[in-house]
Structure 1
Amino acid sequence: MTRAFLLRLVGAALIAALAATLITLRPAAAATLRPHAIVTTDLVTLGDLFDGAGERAATPVFRSPDAGVDGALPAADALAAARAAGLAVDPTAIDVVTVVRAGTEVDEAMLTTLVRDAVAGRLRVAPESLDIDFDALVGPITADAGADRPVTLVALSVQGGSGRFDARLAVDVGAETRTVEVGGRAVEMIDVVVLKRDLERRQVVRADDIAVERVERRRMGRSALAEPDAVVGLAARRALRGGDTLSPVDLEPPRLVLRGEQVTLSYARPGITLSARGRALADGALGETVTVLNEQSRRTVEGIVTANGVVTVARGTQHPAAATAALTQ
């Protein structure tokens, strides 16, 4: 009984040892080819092409296509390269692997910003004041996705009077640099207030009477107004036409008192409040001093325009008795 037990024990040990040997000798799982690969460097690795490449994932096997370009790699070539590198691979039904080189798009907006900032520095103006007009459309260019500076300006010439420029740009496409030549015109612009409709003399400007437009600076005088707040509430000094830009000489404070028109004269001090009708002898805006004729007494009195059609005789400008006489007699 003991001998039989020992034999069974030895047999079990041999079976376990054999199983362990078989497990140790079992090959690692084979790598599987992907139908699509996206790469970001100049070289395609086994890890880019195969799932399960393991320690051989970083092994380079092919050169990458240019940035932004899709390449077609025959599956047979990918499998052969893997086997040559010692990577076990599974058979595949894939015929072609699509290899895409990721990139950063350098578009016209990016080029415009780059050129505008450089031209502004040459002309000593604010970059935001320049409009850049290229001679021809600049199509998007794909730069290397890993580039710190996808595009750089390497040469620039600018004509100060006309704003004409020529620029040479370098685009980092990976293993090499692509040169792009662009030309055009840089135009300095300003914002100005423009009338949307005709205004008669002395007509007050409202917010909906104006718009702000961006125009070439060289077409405008230095006095052109740019802020709507500097215009709204003022009156036209002369007749103005829709489409006109505005300058300080075109506007004035609105006239609340007009020469020859009837106004109300007002005078107040402790214990005395007087008012009378009179005729203004001059135009007057808010806060201005005008002379008014009391048509009943035929006397004149000076006062300050305080409201539409109201002139207030200020304390100190008239002796109380004189002011009372001028308003009441």
Structure 2
Amino acid sequence: MMTRTRPFLLAAALLASTALSALAGEADDQIKAPVLRASVNVSGDIVRVGDLIENAGVAASVAVYRAPDLGTTGVLPAAQVIATLRSHQVIGVDVRDIKEVAVTRLARAIDAKEVGTAVAQALEHRNGLGDAANLSVSFDQPVQDLKFDASTSGTLAPTSVRLDPRSGRFDVTFELGHANGASPTKLRYTGTAIEMVEALVLTRNIDRNEMIRAADLQIERRARAELGGAEPASREFAVGMQMRRPIRAGQALKATDLAKPDLVQRDQTVTLIYQTAGIYLTTRGKALEAGTDGDVVSVLNLQSKRTITGRVTGRGQVSVDITVAKPQQSSEAEIAAPVAVASRLPASATTKAE
């Protein structure tokens, strides 16, 4: 149902004395009868006879009304329209049971959303910013919906773009072209642009070395600046990892905040594994520091009471490669001697009793 707006003004003085009456003077078999239109669209500020009726003939260009405001619709009773046409010598109009005539003035509308999108596209990839779709734009002043003449069919074209990369402050000027050759309309906007990313946010406080569960995480859009230039952690990567440092609830997680879970804990009793080609020996040790898979940690050999270093290779396991062991870490009596004895015995030899 069409909304009624204020009645548009009758242009009583427009060409009243010069209207033509050609329709009344021509033969019925040579011209079609004029027919009233129930709905009219105009692009200018004047409503003419040819807009209101079909088959207007030479009277089509006669101006009879001022058009409504841009983008609005005015409604008049059909009887009033017919009376106006008669005053301009346009007669014999077929009303076709039309009770009222709605006249809409077409317009090029630009709303706040379109302006925000245009600003984001103008700032895209400028001074380190990312894609336009990830930019959150706020304006210094509320952006009003704009309406222009229907001949304004162009897009918002940026002619001047300034951006402060530290504060995100922008100053962008656009031009809006007109198909009728009129000078472009200039529009200027200032405000702040912030690049947003999808980030994992903790739902509770988590201490250092504490394991992360799926329930500890939720996804929110956050300013990239919160991550300090680091990549945001993904849910697939984060679940099952542990924290490198304590982080409070509500903070966004960076990939660098996470580490593989420790397989060896400080002061934990671990299995020390000495191995080289053809030799595999194990003994007990006490971890002097925590470590995850692949970390090099210090371990106290509980049998020799010597501190050695090895690489974490499993939960509660530290491996020492005899071929690369340093003398100050592993003595010959502890490692080399048993290996040498074992290597001198052929596979088929048997040991004789003394």
Pick the TM interval, shorter chain.
Answer: 0.5 to 0.7
Superposed CA deviations along residues 237-262 of structure 1, whole A, max 9, x for unmatched, are 33322133455775444321123211
Q: Match of 1:100?
A: 104
Partner SS state of residue 142, structure 1: strand
CA distance, structure 2, for counterparts of residue 250 and residue 169 of structure 1 = 43
Q: Quick one: which amino acid aligns to residue 261 of structure 2?
A: P
TM-score (norm 2): 0.62
CA distance, structure 1, for counterparts of residue 40 and residue 310 of structure 2 = 88
Q: Quick one: which amino acid aligns to residue 335 of structure 2?
A: A
Q: 2:335 aligns with which of 315, 322, 328?
A: 322
Report if aligned partners of 1:76, 1:95 keep a CA contact under 8 Å in 2.
no
Q: Structure 1: which 5+ runs fail to align?
A: 1-23
Would you say 1:141 and 2:146 are equivalent positions?
Answer: yes
Report if aligned partners of 1:102, 1:145 keep a CA contact under 8 Å in 2.
yes
Superposed CA deviations along residues 241-287 of structure 1, whole A, max 9, x for unmatched, are 21334557754443211232112334567766554433223322211
In the TM superposition, residue 184 of structure 1 has moved relative to its aligned partner by 4.8
Q: Match of 1:115?
A: 119
In the TM superposition, residue 131 of structure 1 has moved relative to its aligned partner by 2.8
Superposed CA deviations along residues 104-146 of structure 1, whole A, max 9, x for unmatched, are 4311011112234445688664463543223443332233445
Q: 1:289 to 1:61 in 2, by over 3 A?
A: same
In the TM superposition, residue 303 of structure 1 has moved relative to its aligned partner by 3.4
Partner SS state of residue 86, structure 2: helix
TM-score (norm 1): 0.66
Deviates more, 1:184-193 or 1:166-175: 166-175
In the TM superposition, residue 202 of structure 1 has moved relative to its aligned partner by 0.8
Higher strand share goes to which structure? Answer: 1
Q: Match of 1:238?
A: 245
In the TM superposition, residue 232 of structure 1 has moved relative to its aligned partner by 5.0
What is the 5 A alignment of 1:41-80? 44=47, 48-51=51-54, 53=55, 56=57, 59-62=60-63, 64-72=67-75, 74-76=80-82, 79-80=85-86
CA distance, structure 2, for counterparts of residue 147 and residue 183 of structure 1 = 19
CA distance, structure 1, for counterparts of residue 83 and residue 186 of structure 2 = 35
In the TM superposition, residue 92 of structure 1 has moved relative to its aligned partner by 6.1
CA distance, structure 1, for counterparts of residue 282 and residue 59 of structure 2 = 99
Q: 1:70 to 1:57 in 2, by over 3 A?
A: farther
CA distance, structure 2, for counterparts of residue 164 and residue 291 of structure 1 = 52
CA distance, structure 2, for counterparts of residue 325 and residue 30 of structure 1 = 119
Identity of aligned residues (%): 31
Q: 2:232 aligns with which of 211, 217, 226?
A: 226
CA distance, structure 1, for counterparts of residue 301 and residue 74 of structure 2 = 97
Q: Match of 1:12?
A: none
Q: Quick one: which amino acid aligns to residue 186 of structure 1?
A: T
Aligned residue pairs, count: 296
CA distance, structure 1, for counterparts of residue 168 and residue 286 of structure 2 = 59
Q: 1:169 to 1:290 in 2, by over 3 A?
A: closer
